[in-house]
Amino acid sequence: MTTPTAPTTPPPFKPLAGVRILDLTRLLPGPACTRLLSDWGADVVKIEPPEGDYANRLGLPADAPAEQVSPLYTLVNRGKSFERLDLKSGPGRARLLEWVDQSDALVEGFRPGVMDRLGLGDAVLRSRRPALVYAAITGYGSHSVWAHRAGHDINYLAMSGVLDQIGERGRPPTMSNWQIADLAGGALAAAARLCAALVQARTTGQGAFVDVSMTHEVAQLNIIAEHALALGKAQLRGEDWLTGGWPCYGVYGTADARYLAVGALEPKFWQVLCEAIGKPHLIPLGTSSGVVGLRVRKELSDHFQLQSLAHWTEFFERVDCCVTPVLTLAEAHQHPLFRSTQ
């Protein structure tokens, strides 16, 4: 008779163990990118100016103690080591070159031309270390007609056509507190491209210049809207399939001024939902639009307004049809879904 053994914990996901990455970035997109790479096992060395990264005070009240550090800075720079260098000085540049000799990749988020003026551009660094992957995260691309323009997440979303789609029917565009261009078009895209370039470097011995334009990257991810455009359909805010046009996919209020997220996109889920709430006559109308779609949405809205969020949350625990509560951030932190993976 064999003795049962306890289940083993899966090994941590560290595919980049042994890879060293230099992080010359500030604020959100670049540091979030290198935080991901650190989470995946890379040794990330953050190079900051002599006075430190100004992001370490971002968002703090004016009277905050001098030693207090912004939570944003802490969140995006976890798992990294740090060194302060004056890259405008000879010794600072020499020290960075020493780091380059021992590194696999470098990530920077300056405007195009800044690193070249310091004598530390892509051509210089890769002539010194041919296998180096040099990633530049910019707003509009290193070589576009807007290469030298300043911008932030809201500008990149505006120029990509994404911001115009976000919001309710007949109302102005809405800004998201999740920085779509910075994080999807910047951090995630840069991490993916950099990892692909690292594979190439390991295979061929040749590094690459990874040019990440947050505006272009987020535009490429605008897939549903591009699909509608290809069909010749107007993009009306709050009226596309997944932004309010189809009753089966949307946000509905509850009796206590909270919200449910209904994602019953597939017919099987919509059927289960309609049957569960006693409205089988709506089964053929989940993807209806126009006047009919508005009528179906109104009927659902009126029904969900009859009970509190707590009631509906408990109700849909027993009904598998892609309906969930809209949680606050604090509630999400306490939910078993996240606590079980910590």
| 275-298 confidence digits (pLDDT tens) | 999 999 999 999 998 899 999 999
Quote the mean pLDDT of the chain: 93
* Reported pTM: 0.89
Res. 126: pLDDT tops 80: yes
Q: Is residue 316 part of a domain?
A: yes
Domain identity same for 260 and 331: yes
Res. 99: pLDDT tops 60: yes
Q: Is residue 6 part of a domain?
A: no
Residue that is last in its domain, among 156, 188, 220: 220
Q: Is residue 334 part of a domain?
A: yes
Q: Is residue 237 part of a domain?
A: no
Supply the CATH number for residue 115's domain: 3.40.50.10540
Looking at mean pLDDT, say which of 11-15, 223-227, 324-328 comes out highest.
Answer: 324-328
Selection from 23, 25, 29 nearest residue 42 by Cα: 23
The domain tally of the chain equals 2
What pLDDT does 3 receive? 46
- pLDDT band of residue 10 (cuts 50, 70, 90) is low
| 144-164 confidence digits (pLDDT tens) | 999 999 999 999 999 999 999
Domain identity same for 215 and 309: no
Supply the CATH number for residue 284's domain: 3.30.1540.10
What pLDDT does 192 receive? 98
Q: Is residue 232 part of a domain?
A: no
Please answer whether residues 259 and 313 qualify as being in contact, where contact means their C-beta atoms are separated by less than 8 angstroms. no
Catalytic residue selected from 23, 43, 53, 182:
182
Q: How far is CA 139 from CA 147, 153, 218, in A?
A: 8, 8, 11
Domain identity same for 261 and 144: no
Domain identity same for 270 and 210: no
Angle at 78 between CA 33 and CA 202, to 5 degrees: 45
Domain identity same for 202 and 278: no
Domain identity same for 135 and 253: no
Domain identity same for 47 and 192: yes
Question: What is the arithmetic mean of pLDDT over 78-104?
Answer: 97
**Annotation marks residue 143 as catalytic:** no
What pLDDT does 340 receive? 64
Domain identity same for 154 and 83: yes
**Annotation marks residue 182 as catalytic:** yes
Q: What are the backbone angles phi and psi of residue 253, rounded to the nearest 5°?
A: -75, 155
What pLDDT does 1 receive? 43
Alpha carbon distance 92, 192 (integer Å): 30
Domain identity same for 141 and 270: no
Q: Is residue 299 part of a domain?
A: yes
- pLDDT band of residue 53 (cuts 50, 70, 90) is confident
Res. 8: pLDDT tops 70: no
Q: Which residue has the higher pLDDT, 64 or 331?
A: 331
Residues constituting the chain: 342
Q: Is residue 114 part of a domain?
A: yes
Residue that is last in its domain, among 182, 205, 220: 220
Backbone Cα Rg of the chain: 25
What pLDDT does 78 receive? 94
Residue that is last in its domain, among 220, 235, 268: 220
Which residue range is the domain that position 309 belongs to?
A: 244-339
Domain identity same for 208 and 111: yes
Q: Is residue 59 part of a domain?
A: yes
Question: What is the arithmetic mean of pLDDT over 261-281?
Answer: 98
How buried is residue 140: exposed, middle or buried, by Cβ count under 10 Å (0-12/13-18/19+)? buried
Please answer whether residues 73 and 56 qualify as being in contact, where contact means their C-beta atoms are separated by less than 8 angstroms. yes
Catalytic residue selected from 39, 152, 303, 311:
152
Domain identity same for 137 and 39: yes
Q: From the CB of residue 254, how many other CB atoms can be counted at a distance below 10 Å? A: 21
- pLDDT band of residue 54 (cuts 50, 70, 90) is confident
| 22-35 confidence digits (pLDDT tens) | 999 999 999 999 99
Domain identity same for 207 and 248: no
